[in-house]
Structure 1
Amino acid sequence: MARGHDAKSLARHFELSVHTIHERLRNARRKMAVSSSREAARLLLDREEGLGADSTPKLQGDTEMGAAPGPDRTADREEPKRASKTRPLLVWALGGVLAMTLAIVAALLMLSPSASLQSAPEAHGVESAPVASARAWLHLVDEGEWEKSWAETGEAFQAQNTAARWASLAAQVRPPLGEVVSRRLLGEEAVPGPPSGLKVVKFQSAFAHKANVIETVSLSPEEGRWKVVGYWMS
């Protein structure tokens, strides 16, 4: 669909209320574990255009995580793929993935305020609670502790994924990357708008079989702790 839609035109097109459009945009940003609307739009556009090498480990299909089926892209896949040094490693939004059209992507750019990630401080100091929780959770994933890592996720995550489902998905995606070589904090940021309190933490990581991976973890405060509700690798 053509770019340039606003909330009202999207509401008319999809026969939904403007309030529903705004709510779905907010949910998309939360579930994709990003705070910047432009970043979310870029990632969704990459997905729609069929980026991602066949040799890259990926899920068996986004719709298996509760999303509605997207448009048929068979013809697009038959065309030569564009070479890109910045193509995403994979799309792994563990809190649930929303299948969205290009119209929604365009609206995401226009309707949500952009925000920049707060850079990590130069000096080595005590990490914040969200950063420490994100590191601890990623360590469980590194060690293949699927059951324990699932137990440390929040309600939004567990509502979309059972422990068995998470273990199956994680086992397909994480082991092919190999052991983690390094994981450097890029920064953390509070996500504007509801749900309140959501934090996004980003790391620049290197694995034995894949270097320069950006890991994005979203966390929500629950029961006095920070729990993971989304995970994204690019």
Structure 2
Amino acid sequence: MKVTHLLTCLFLCLTSVVFAQDKPEVLAQKVADPWLALVDKGQYAESWQQASSAFKQQLTSDKWNEALVSVRTPIGKVTKRTLSSAQYTTSLPNAPAGEYVVLQYQSAFEKKNPATETVVMMKDADRQWRPVGYFIK
């Protein structure tokens, strides 16, 4: 009886871990974190390439580069970043219906501490999660 109970508990624990990894918030963060690392390294053209089609339609690679240089250069390098919230939604203001995850990070930069970074991820036409927005407050 104890062995059966133990096996049942083990199965339930493993199942919950597998399903938690399939949550949109988890899947979107797995894409957002390496994308943020590109931005942190100043690889702005590469970060633009990995962004969603909607992002690219709104902003050229050159404009993205200019925006990041003007925002990130004055605040220096990131020194700390911790995910504080992840919210799945199917609607955002001024955005078409779709699947989105809004990720908020509590961050610190060399010359701006504290800061809140928001990365908005969307499920693109190919069903892959990609960045569609990035903001620092």
Gap runs ≥5 in structure 1: 1-124
Amino acid in the other structure paired with 1:215: E
Local SS of the residue matching 1:195: coil
Indicate the residue corresponding to 1:196 in structure 2. 98
Amino acid in the other structure paired with 1:233: I
Superposition deviation, residue 156 in structure 1: 1.4
Identity %: 33
Deviations 1:177-230 (A, max 9, x none): 111111001011112435221111110000111111111111111224211001
RMSD: 1.8
Amino acid in the other structure paired with 1:214: T
Alignment of 1:228 with 2:115, yes or no, is: no
State the alpha-carbon separation in 2 of the partners of residues 209 and 155 from structure 1: 32
State the alpha-carbon separation in 2 of the partners of residues 132 and 215 from structure 1: 16
Structure 1 stretches of 4+ with a deviation exceeding 3 A read: none
Task: Say if 2:35 and 2:47, in contact at 8 Å, map to a contact too.
Answer: yes
State the alpha-carbon separation in 1 of the partners of residues 36 and 62 from structure 2: 18
Local SS of the residue matching 1:173: helix
Indicate the residue corresponding to 1:169 in structure 2. 67
Flag the structure with higher strand content.
2
State the alpha-carbon separation in 2 of the partners of residues 161 and 227 from structure 1: 15
Alignment of 1:206 with 2:108, yes or no, is: yes
Local SS of the residue matching 2:42: coil
Superposition deviation, residue 154 in structure 1: 0.6
Deviations 1:41-91 (A, max 9, x none): xxxxxxxxxxxxxxxxxxxxxxxxxxxxxxxxxxxxxxxxxxxxxxxxxxx
Alignment of 1:132 with 2:30, yes or no, is: yes
Gap runs ≥5 in structure 2: 1-19
Amino acid in the other structure paired with 1:232: F
- Select the structure with the greater relative contact order (CA < 8 A; seq sep ≥ 6): 1
Provide the aligned length of Structure 1 versus Structure 2: 110
Amino acid in the other structure paired with 1:188: A
State the alpha-carbon separation in 1 of the partners of residues 104 and 59 from structure 2: 22
Q: TM-score, normalised by structure 2?
A: 0.73
Indicate the residue corresponding to 1:141 in structure 2. 39
Task: Say if 2:98 and 2:123, in contact at 8 Å, map to a contact too.
Answer: no
Superposed, 1:1-234 pairs within 5 Å as 128-193=26-91, 195-222=97-124, 223-234=126-137
Q: TM-score, normalised by structure 1?
A: 0.44
Local SS of the residue matching 1:138: helix
Superposition deviation, residue 165 in structure 1: 1.3
Amino acid in the other structure paired with 2:104: K
Task: Say if 2:76 and 2:111, in contact at 8 Å, map to a contact too.
Answer: yes
- Farther-moved stretch of structure 1 (211-220 vs 224-233): 224-233
State the alpha-carbon separation in 1 of the partners of residues 97 and 53 from structure 2: 13
Indicate the residue corresponding to 2:13 in structure 1. none
